[in-house]
Amino acid sequence: MLTVWLGAILVFGGVLFMAVQTIWWGPLSAARRSRLAGPTLEPRTPGTDGVFGLKANWPGLVLMALGAVLLLAGAAL
């Protein structure tokens, strides 16, 4: 029973990690920036190439995979 709970927590943690990575990736100041503020170094369009790749999400995928293995092991017992 402990393996099932630990597996569920790991899967949930992996999904939560990947969601947080995606939410915090974009520029937060773009909505509040006015034209009077002047030019900034921030790009006009956010780059999303790194958000959905394996490089940024591998810890979440590993957590989900370990959780899935533990859930399958708990179901087999």
Q: Is 29 within the bounds of a domain?
A: no
The verdict on residue 74 lying in a domain is: yes
Residue 59, domain member (yes or no): yes
Contact predicate 70/3, CB 8 Å? yes
Count the alpha carbons within 13 Å of 48 in the hemisphere toward its beta carbon.
4
Compute CA 2 distance to the chain's CA centroid, rounded to the nearest angstrom.
25
Task: Give the model's confidence band at 54: pLDDT under 50 very low, under 70 low, under 90 confident, else very high.
Answer: confident
Q: How far apart are CA 28 and CA 2, in angstroms?
A: 40
Amino acid at 69: V
pLDDT tens digit sequence for 15-32? 999 988 878 776 545 555
Spell out the alpha helix ranges (H) of 1-77. 2-23, 54-76
> In this structure, is residue 47 part of a structural domain?
no
Number of domains in the chain: 1
Which domain range does residue 11 map to?
A: 1-22+55-77
Q: What is the mean pLDDT of residues 37-59?
A: 70
